[in-house]
Amino acid sequence: MFDQDTILLLKIVLGLLIFASLIGLGLKKFSTNEKLEPVIDNLNSRTKAWWMMCIIFALALATGGIGSVILFGITSFLALREFITITPSKKADHKTLFWVFFIITPIQYYLIYIDWYGLFSIFIPVYAFLYIPARSALSGDSENFLERTAKIQWGLMISVYCISHAPALLTLKIPNYDNPAKLLFYLVLIVQLSDVFQYVFGKLFGRHKIAPKVSPNKTWEGFIGGVTSAVIVGTFFYWATPFSMLEAAGMSLIITLLGFLGGLTMSSIKRDQGIKDFGTMIEGHGGILDRMDSICFSAPIYFHLVRYFYS
């Protein structure tokens, strides 16, 4: 499962993580600037989350396809749980939600495991999306029906359908390219780097807000700085992908732009529901959706682009 390139990738990421942890530790210890404290804490908690991600990721890759299907399946399940928790639902939705959690979600991941592309790419948008309103209608409560149905569909779309395209990358068969797990690795690497670069650039140089009502922390300076740096890194990692150097630049640009839009969209949802993080309301539990928002948008598009042009 581990070819030379994958091992090199892992080594680089490990190096980056050790580097980030040391810097974080150093800053925490020696920084006297109180204003920077929340920024340092934020970076440190991100680093911690990345360590976890990296370890779980390596384990998932070591066990081959099944490992990443299970890993992302659990991620989807927990993300959906956060989404539904903050979304109003009525008693009449109870049975629908049971289906969504325990039947539709596992089926979607099973379809990816058995590599049935034709069905997994339409299972949720066609079958589940028709089933959900029908099941809720059977419960006989039509109050706010459209709103309730749309919310469940959105939760399923974002948390399950979109995220499931990440492990689906492993099913792609690309000529002269051995281990498609590297595609997944590449996606997560670029998305995470873009997130953190945007955060750092925003903190350092952020002046002009992009959408102050939706996400006060997103600035043009952060956006441009973050995207540019992530694209530069993405370009130099082209050797881990089936792309040429130029194509890698284009691909990482698309990934980062979509990641940005994902973050913005999820911020709107949070804002609308009156919360700051999917995690803050539920201490020690939430935050999966906060970490996955950029992956949600980039994974399906990246999957289809790679599938169409390279496999």
Partner 1 sequence: MTAKILVLLTRLITGVSVHFVNRFDISNKQRIFYSNHSSHLDFLLIWSILPDEQRKLTRPVAAKDYWGVGKIKKFFSTKILNAVLVHRKWRDVLGERNPIEKLLDTIKSGDSLVIFPEGTRSLDFKLKNFKSGIYHLAESYPELEFVPIYIDNLSRVLPKGEFLFIPILTRAVIGEPFRIHENETKSDFLTRARNNLIKLYPKESLNV
Q: Which residues of the chain form contacts with partner 1 (CB under 8 A)?
A: 77, 81-82, 84-89, 91, 94-95, 97-98, 101, 273-275, 281-286
Cβ proximity to partner 1, 81 vs 165, nearer residue: 81
Q: What is the 3-state secondary structure (H, E, C) of the chain?
A: CCCHHHHHHHHHHHHHHHHHHHHHHHHHHHCCCHHHHHHHHHHHHHHHHHHHHHHHHHHHHHCCHHHHHHHHHHHHHHHHHHHHHHCCCCHHHHHHHHHHHHHHHHHHHHHHHCCCHHHHCCHHHHHHHHHHHHHHHHCCCCCCHHHHHHHHHHHHHHHHHHHHHHHHHHHCCCCCCCCCHHHHHHHHHHHHHHHHHHHHHHHHHCCCECCCCCCCCCEHHHHHHHHHHHHHHHHHCHHHCCCCHHHHHHHHHHHHHHHHHHHHHHHHHHHHHCCCCCCCCCCCCCCHHHHHHHHHHHHHHHHHHHHHHHC
Cβ proximity to partner 1, 86 vs 189, nearer residue: 86
> Nearest approach, Cβ of 113 to partner 1 (angstroms)?
22
> Nearest approach, Cβ of 213 to partner 1 (angstroms)?
19
Cβ proximity to partner 1, 262 vs 286, nearer residue: 286
> Nearest approach, Cβ of 149 to partner 1 (angstroms)?
16
Cβ proximity to partner 1, 89 vs 265, nearer residue: 89
> Nearest approach, Cβ of 50 to partner 1 (angstroms)?
23
Cβ proximity to partner 1, 83 vs 197, nearer residue: 83
> Nearest approach, Cβ of 269 to partner 1 (angstroms)?
13
> Nearest approach, Cβ of 139 to partner 1 (angstroms)?
11
Cβ proximity to partner 1, 94 vs 304, nearer residue: 94
